[in-house]
Amino acid sequence: MARQEFDDSCQQKINIGLQNELTGHLNTRWAGQPVCVYDTIDSTNTECFRLAAEGAGHGTVVTAEEQTAGKGRRGRVWESPEGNNLYFSLLLRPTFAADKAPMLTLLIAMAVAEGVRRTTGLTLKIKWPNDLVLNGRKVCGILTEMRIVQKDTHTDKAAASNAPVVVIGVGVNVGYRTFPEELAAKATTLETVTGPKISRGVLLESILGAFEELYEEFIRTEDLSGCMEQYNALLVNLNREVTVLDPKGEYSGVARGINATGELLVQRSDGTVTEVFAGEVSVRGIYGYV
Ligand code: BTN
């Protein structure tokens, strides 16, 4: 399917009021060209893969007011009520090797922190690899998925191919809300701190703009060497003791930052440094979530 044709069919799915709110500020070059805006969708990540099979191109964004089957990491559910939150997924058709895709999660985490800073002045920290934290509580989660999307043979969409498609899904808690008891100590929202003044459209534009800048450097080097220092400066666990929940055995050490491929360097008590790969483990601060 030609790009213009796809853009037109994406437009037909759009809720105009929401579209104006969410895309009225968009001034990016390719990230968010186009944006498909839905009132309700099962999951913006799932919809991105469906659109990929129809030929949606690199940079397509899907966003929704509400998700009925929002997906979190490790098979968890991401509660996605309607209201003032930002749920979006960015579709990428990478030109680099598939094993480099996990680094994109770290890039988008930096882009969210930068987008929130530009929009609100708030400083978010990153809990490696990709949770965004505000005052010690999670304010944003990221789910990156990669699939080989089969060409849609019914419509023979030209843009579809059997190359891997990466979808990066971002859920930001924006509007003030209370959380169920089990989450109350671990989760927060941006407007809990700023008061009710955040434009989701400005926030989306700022995040996508920041991602474009980071991605362009990333495809030049195909690693995180250009932004490693920036990432480490945002790392909530930097030089703090962490517990690594490795299925092969839990251990503790001091987090020393990431390396150029995004692994967390954890220094054990005997001085040795382990490179922790995000796919296998999660990391906790020794006193709780961070
Ligand atoms: C996590 O921290 O567990 C990841 C949460 C990711 C949630 C976002 S919301 C937009 C996108 N669509 C989904 O179904 N999930 C991601």
The reported pLDDT for the residue numbered 23 is: 75
Among 91, 108, 87, residue whose Cα is nearest residue 3? 91
Cβ of 141 closer than 6 Å to ligand 1, yes or no, is: yes
The reported pLDDT for the residue numbered 10 is: 65
Q: Mapping DSSP to helix (H, G, I), strand (E, B) and coil, where does residue 244 land?
A: strand
68, 140 Cβ separation under 8 angstroms: no
Give bridge partners of residue 61 from the DSSP assignment. 35, 90
Cβ of 129 closer than 6 Å to ligand 1, yes or no, is: no
Low-confidence residues in the chain, pLDDT < 50: 156-160
Q: Rounded to the nearest whole angstrom, what is the distance from the C-alpha of residue 87 to the centroid of ligand 1?
A: 7
Tokens of 246: 């490795």
Which atom of ligand 1 sits closest to the CA of residue 73? 3
The reported pLDDT for the residue numbered 102 is: 93
User: pTM (2 decimals)?
Assistant: 0.91
Among 184, 152, 120, 185, residue whose Cα is nearest residue 56? 152
101-136 pLDDT tens trace = 999 999 999 999 999 999 999 999 999 998 999 999
The reported pLDDT for the residue numbered 280 is: 62
Interior/surface letters 174-196, b for 16+ CB within 10 angstroms, e for the rest: bbbeebeeeeeeebbbbbbebee
The reported pLDDT for the residue numbered 178 is: 87
Which atom of ligand 1 sits closest to the CA of residue 74? 3
The reported pLDDT for the residue numbered 4 is: 57
Give bridge partners of residue 90 from the DSSP assignment. 61, 168
Q: Rounded to the nearest whole angstrom, what is the distance from the C-alpha of residue 76 to the centroid of ligand 1?
A: 9
**How far apart are the two ends of the chain, measured CA to CA in Å?**
46
The reported pLDDT for the residue numbered 54 is: 92
Interior/surface letters 39-56, b for 16+ CB within 10 angstroms, e for the rest: eebbbbbbbbbebbbbbb
Cβ of 127 closer than 6 Å to ligand 1, yes or no, is: no
Q: Rounded to the nearest whole angstrom, what is the distance from the C-alpha of residue 98 to the centroid of ligand 1?
A: 21
The reported pLDDT for the residue numbered 160 is: 46
* CB atoms inside a 10 Å sphere around CB 98: 12
Q: Rounded to the nearest whole angstrom, what is the distance from the C-alpha of residue 70 to the centroid of ligand 1?
A: 6
Which atom of ligand 1 sits closest to the CA of residue 130? 2
148-175 pLDDT tens trace = 887 665 554 444 456 799 999 999 999 9
225, 232 Cβ separation under 8 angstroms: no
**Residue appearing with tokens 């055995």:** 249
Chain-centroid distance of CA 264 in Å reads: 18
Q: Rounded to the nearest whole angstrom, what is the distance from the C-alpha of residue 271 to the centroid of ligand 1?
A: 36
Q: Rounded to the nearest whole angstrom, what is the distance from the C-alpha of residue 281 to the centroid of ligand 1?
A: 18
**Residue appearing with tokens 């666990």:** 237
Cβ of 63 closer than 6 Å to ligand 1, yes or no, is: no
